[in-house]
Structures are given as structure tokens and as C-alpha cells.
């Protein structure tokens, strides 16, 4: 599948899932726009590396996804948006009666409201171009729940609902909107947590992964950022032109339970 000539904007993409998706879209020929709220040399270096290795255009644009005007500015500054991947997200774990209000507000803003702003800004560009793909990175927690993650679960359920609405609003246009729902993914952040978890439970690496970290993931294997990127590329392909308004779970069977 060649995405040559297409411009893809991926929010929250200077690490982890977002960066993995950016790489796979670039390998498929898309020009990519990386994003986060920082503006370090390392951020711009990532874009240069992608460009050098894939032969596509890649650049980095700073925008804080907790602020609606910056979400819309990101799309406008990119100048084009054929593919929008709403990936930015944060997490906080606490009982609902102890959940800090500021954490709730931040999670809803970054994990949910940002996607409203970016999508609203991107759809006119897609309509003008006569083609578009919106891919929202939801979660297994967009389809099910866990205790102590009220804001995250609420936001991800909201993303799934918004995905359906956007799909219906664009159903008679060459634009699709879908959500990918990952389970646990092996990102650098997750990898860094493994040694501490091994110490906490006095278990070896394989046991702590299977019995603690992947307790709810029947495959007992992490999904990879490359797999999520490949799923995103598929959703941008002609083969997926009639796939819209739905969720694709990449969760090792989590939501089959």
C-alpha cells in the first residue's frame, strides 16, 4: 500500500505508540508530522531520522493537546491533513472519590477533547482533497473498564463514541473514521517498568510479564508499536475504504473475555 503524496499528522508522536505509527506511515510513503508539547532538539531529530530513512518529508510541530487552540493550530500549521491519527494521551490511577480534579480535567482534555478539535480542523482539508482517514487510538479500555482508571476509561469510551459519529457524518464521502483499541503495548515506558515490577513481586522477567502485567491479556504477549502502525496503514488503504465507524482491537484477546 503506497501512501505517497499523503500527509499524516500523528498527535503525541515523539515516543511510544505514536512514533511507531509515524514510522509505519512513513514507510508506506506518507509525509508525516510528529507532535508533542515539548520542543527539544531530540524531537526535530526524530523527524530528520524518519525522513532520511524513508525518503519522505517528516517534520515536528509543537502543540499542547490540552489546549483547544493549539490542537487546531497544529492542523493549520501542517498545511495539509489527509491522515489524522489522534494518539495523544496521559494516564492517572486513583479511586474515583480520591481522583484529583485537575488530573480528571487533564485526561479528558488530552485523551478526548483534543481529538474533537483536531478532527474539526482536519475534515475541511480532507473534503477539499477528496480523501481522508481519521484513526483514533482508543484502548481496550474504550470497550471495557478497570477500577481506578475512571478518567481514562471515560475518555476512551468517549473516543469510541466520537469515532462512530464522525463516521456517520462522513459516510457518503471518501473519508473514513475508525478506532484502534490496543491492549498492553511494549513501549519504552512499559519496558522501563518491568525491572521495578520484577523486584516488587520477586519474579523473573517472563513470569512478571505473563502473570502481572499481562494478567488480562489472554495471549500473554505485548502488542508492538509496529503492529499498531501496520493496522493504521491498513485502515488508510483502499482495502479499508468500506471500514468506518468501528473499532479494531489489537489486544491479544482481552475484549473477548
For the purposes of burial, counting CB atoms within 10 Å of the CB of 256, is it exposed (0-12), middle (13-18) or buried (19 or more)?
Answer: exposed
Phi, psi of 237 (to 5 degrees): -85, 165
Share of the chain above pLDDT 70, in %: 100
> What are the residue boundaries of the structural domains of the chain, listed by start?
7-185+223-256, 186-222
What's the pLDDT at 1? 66
How far apart CA 220 and CA 130 sit, in angstroms, is 42
Closest CA to 142 of 176, 98, 112: 112
What's the pLDDT at 192? 94
Task: Assess contact for 43 and 20: CB atoms under 8 A.
Answer: no
pLDDT in tens, 133-172: 999 999 999 999 999 999 999 999 999 999 999 999 999 9
- Given 60, 148, 152, 201, the catalytic residue: 152
Residues 6+ apart with CB under 8 A from 120: 72
Q: Is the pLDDT of residue 255 over 80?
A: yes
pLDDT in tens, 73-119: 999 999 999 999 999 999 999 999 999 999 999 999 999 999 999 99
Task: Assess contact for 72 and 120: CB atoms under 8 A.
Answer: yes
pLDDT in tens, 197-245: 999 999 999 999 999 999 999 999 999 999 999 999 999 999 999 999 9
Rounded to 5°, the CA angle 168-170-171 comes to 60
Residues 6+ apart with CB under 8 A from 256: 218
pLDDT in tens, 18-65: 999 999 999 999 999 999 999 999 999 999 999 999 999 999 999 999
Rounded to 5°, the CA angle 230-76-158 comes to 55
Q: How far apart are the first and last CA of the chain?
A: 33
The fold of 7-185+223-256 is Rossmann fold (3.40.50)
| Residue 201: active-site member | no
Alpha helix segments (H runs only) across the chain: 16-27, 41-54, 68-78, 101-108, 114-129, 150-169, 188-201, 205-208, 225-235
What is the chain's mean pLDDT, rounded? 97
Per DSSP bridges, beta strands 7-10 and 83-86 are: parallel
How far apart CA 107 and CA 102 sit, in angstroms, is 9
Amino acid at each position: 500500500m503506497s501512501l505517497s503524496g499523503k500527509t499524516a499528522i500523528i498527535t503525541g508522536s515523539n515516543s511510544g505508540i505514536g512514533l511507531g505509527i509515524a514510522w509505519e506511515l512513513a514507510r508506506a510513503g506518507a509525509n508525516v508530522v510528529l507532535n508533542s508539547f515539548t520542543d527539544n532538539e531530540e524531537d526535530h531529530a526524530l523527524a530528520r531520522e524518519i525522513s532520511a530513512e524513508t525518503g519522505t518529508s517528516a517534520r515536528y510541530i509543537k502543540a499542547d493537546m490540552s489546549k483547544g487552540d493549539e490542537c487546531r493550530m497544529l492542523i493549520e500549521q501542517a498545511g495539509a491533513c489527509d491522515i489524522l491519527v489522534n494518539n495523544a494521551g496521559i494516564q492517572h490511577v486513583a479511586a474515583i472519590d480520591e481522583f484529583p480534579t485537575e488530573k480528571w480535567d487533564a485526561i479528558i482534555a488530552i485523551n478526548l477533547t483534543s481529538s474533537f478539535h483536531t478532527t474539526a480542523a482536519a475534515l475541511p482539508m480532507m473534503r477539499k482533497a477528496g480523501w481522508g482517514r481519521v484513526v483514533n487510538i482508543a484502548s481496550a479500555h474504550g470497550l471495557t473498564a478497570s477500577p481506578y482508571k475512571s478518567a481514562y476509561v471515560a475518555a476512551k469510551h468517549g473516543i469510541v463514541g466520537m469515532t462512530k459519529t464522525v463516521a456517520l457524518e462522513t459516510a457518503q464521502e471518501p473519508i473514513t473514521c475508525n478506532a484502534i483499541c490496543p491492549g498492553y503495548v511494549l513501549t519504552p515506558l512499559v519496558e522501563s517498568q518491568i525491572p521495578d515490577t520484577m523486584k516488587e513481586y520477586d519474579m523473573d522477567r517472563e513470569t512478571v510479564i505473563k502473570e502481572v502485567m499481562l494478567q488480562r491479556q489472554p495471549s500473554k504477549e505485548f502488542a508492538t508499536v509496529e503492529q499498531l502502525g501496520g493496522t493504521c496503514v491498513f485502515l488508510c488503504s483502499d482495502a479499508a475504504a468500506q471500514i468506518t465507524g468501528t473499532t479494531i482491537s489489537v489486544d491479544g484477546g482481552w475484549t473477548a473475555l
